[in-house]
Amino acid sequence: MARLPLRATTLVLLLLALAAGLATASDDRVHSAPVVVDGHVLLQVRGIAAVPADSRADSISDALIEAADNPEIDPDDASLVTRDDGGVELRFGGQRVATLFAVDAALEDVPLDILAGATVQRMQRVIVEYREARTPERLLRSTGLLVAFTAAAALLLWLVLALLGAVIRLVERRIKGQIERLEQASHWMIHRRQMWAIFGGITRALRLVAVVAIVLTWASTVLGLYPWTRHLAMSIFALVLDPLHQLGSGLLNSIPDIAFLAVLVFVVRLLLRGLHTFFKRVESGWIRLENFEADWAMPTYRIVRVAVIVLALVVAYPYIPGSESQAFKGIGIFMGVILSIGSTSFISNLLAGYSLTYRAAYREGDRVRIGDQSGEVVDIRAMNTRLRTLKNEEINIPNSIVLNSAIVNYSAYARQDGLVLYTEVGIGYDTPWRQVEAMLKMAAERTPGIMREPPAYVLQKRLGDFTVIYELNAHCDNVAQMNQHYSDLHANIQDVFNEYGVQIMSPNYEHDPEQPKLVRPEDFYTAPAKPPAADPSPLA
């Protein structure tokens, strides 16, 4: 269903173009048309809206062919009869073939009587040639020539292809060593396969040109042997050469515009190269701009580059060959509609990406949490942000989602003051709070990766119904290892509380058990756990 409007639009455009072409052709046929018999143009005749010129030309051709097909009509039995309306009738054997008027003579810029006399002589020759071309002897000779020309064309085609093949093989042997040396001299920036691909394309083009030239020459020759196909022989080369002529003429007429476009491209490339160098130096810190972050340099360059290219396209548009044609404008409108329909999400992600860049919410290498996803930022692009999780998974998040999500950056302040790790435990009211704080700080001191300065501290978060909730806060400077630090910290908390016989009662507490839920020191390394090589007893 989505393609129906496109097909309907295409059909409407084709019908409009066809109607315009038919209208133009109709206007041309009204003015003048040639009278053609067996590929011979006899004269041009005028027409009016009621009787178009091509209709008059066809009727004259049909009448002349009818006279030529009638063996009783002698070509020399021709006469001119002047009519009361000023026209002159051309008759053969008393049969009217054509009527000429002063407007017809005006096309040749000659008097009407001179045009009529010359036309009669042409028609006499055409009738004679028409009858001779259709005699059995002439047709038999034409058939013999057809066979001879076909054999000659096939032989010539074989010789040309064989000669081209020999020349190509000779050239290949001569340039093979040079291509290898060129590959080595360019440090393999230019590969032999590329050079051979170019050479192969040139050879295929030469073969195609040779085959097309021979086939067209053969077709034009053999079609001209028979009267029924002689008009095709006269136009077969025009089918190929006329488009090439139009292309060549258009190219020559467009040389000033092409020169302007070449200069514009050179200037724009030079400007973009200068802008790229400038922003690269801003990014590296060689150039400092007030209130401008170095991380903004390349995104800003991309925005400026797009603006420069769009401005260059606006300037270049009037000089593009064919830009004034309706087809070019129609294609431009069509592409604009397609882009506007299909680029909604693209534009939203692009704008969100640049918004995030200038907000400086994170940078590459930061440990962040975006919505429900956590990981290290490995790439920030205009369309999406890539994260690498602790499980070594890659997550691609569209920037439009990032823009609408809460972002937690663990690395932003950790570079200066360290990241605060925090965890909670619930301890009963019968345990002195000073002892609990001391044990929690001892667990933090035993944990590798926890900073000694600033020291760890403990907060009593709330007084529950059965337990006091303590929160241990400790700083670490290696954000990438924060999960490992959490694991080590929790292990040390369990060890310290077991060593001092204090029961951890969180998260839920119902009643005091008969025996405290503790792990004895001698059971710390119950199989299959293995103690370190030298692990002094914590209570020794």
Domains of the chain (ranges plus CATH)?
32-134 (no CATH), 331-412 (2.30.30.60), 419-500 (3.30.70.100)
Helix or strand holding residue 123 (H, E): helix 112-133
Using the structure block, give the residue that is written with the tokens 């002892």: 435
Residue 490: pLDDT band with limits 50, 70, 90: very high
Residue 29: pLDDT band with limits 50, 70, 90: very low
pLDDT at position 105 over 50 = yes
CB atoms within 10 A of CB 352: 21
Average pLDDT over residues 162-190: 71
Task: Name which of 67, 41, 45 is nearest 122 in CA terms.
Answer: 41
DSSP states along 273-333: HHHHHHHHHHHHTSS--TT--GGGHHHHHHHHHHHHHHHHHHHHGGGSTTTTSHHHHHHHH
pLDDT at 129: 82
Nearest-Å Rg of the Cα atoms of the chain is 47
Residue 349: pLDDT band with limits 50, 70, 90: low
CB atoms within 10 A of CB 187: 7
Q: For residues 261 and 100, what is the distance between their CA atoms, to the nearest angstrom? A: 54
pLDDT at 13: 42
Q: For residues 20 and 207, what is the distance between their CA atoms, to the nearest angstrom? A: 40
Helix or strand holding residue 475 (H, E): strand 467-476
Helix or strand holding residue 81 (H, E): strand 78-82
Average pLDDT over residues 452-456: 88
Between 299 and 277, whose confidence is greater?
A: 277
Range among 162-176, 363-377, 505-519 with highest mean pLDDT value: 363-377
pLDDT at 18: 44
pLDDT at 83: 83
Cis peptide, bond prior to residue 454, ω within 30 of zero:
yes
pLDDT at 444: 92
Contact residues for 247 (Cβ-Cβ < 8 A; gap 6+): none
43 in Cβ contact with 103 (< 8 Å): no
Residue 73: pLDDT band with limits 50, 70, 90: confident
User: In terms of C-beta density within 10 A (0-12 exposed, 13-18 middle, 19 or more buried), how is residue 399 classed?
Assistant: buried
- Annotate 3-20 with b (16+ C-beta within 10 A) or e (fewer): eeeeeeeeeeeeeeeeee
Mean of all residue pLDDT scores within the chain: 78
Kindly state the tokens that stand for 384: 């999406």
pLDDT at 155: 92
Percent residues over pLDDT 70 in the chain: 81
Kindly state the tokens that stand for 509: 């507490």
Task: Name which of 81, 65, 78 is nearest 121 in CA terms.
Answer: 78
CB atoms within 10 A of CB 391: 6
Kindly state the tokens that stand for 375: 């990981």
Between 176 and 429, whose confidence is greater?
A: 429
Average pLDDT over residues 498-503: 87
Q: For residues 382 and 350, what is the distance between their CA atoms, to the nearest angstrom? A: 5
Between 529 and 161, whose confidence is greater?
A: 161
Average pLDDT over residues 271-283: 88
Contact residues for 60 (Cβ-Cβ < 8 A; gap 6+): 35, 42, 45, 97, 98
For residue 98, which phi and psi values (nearest 5 degrees)?
Answer: -155, 160
pLDDT at 188: 57
Q: For residues 65 and 37, what is the distance between their CA atoms, to the nearest angstrom? A: 8
Contact residues for 31 (Cβ-Cβ < 8 A; gap 6+): 46, 47, 53
CB atoms within 10 A of CB 64: 22
pLDDT at position 7 over 50 = no
Kindly state the tokens that stand for 152: 């000659």
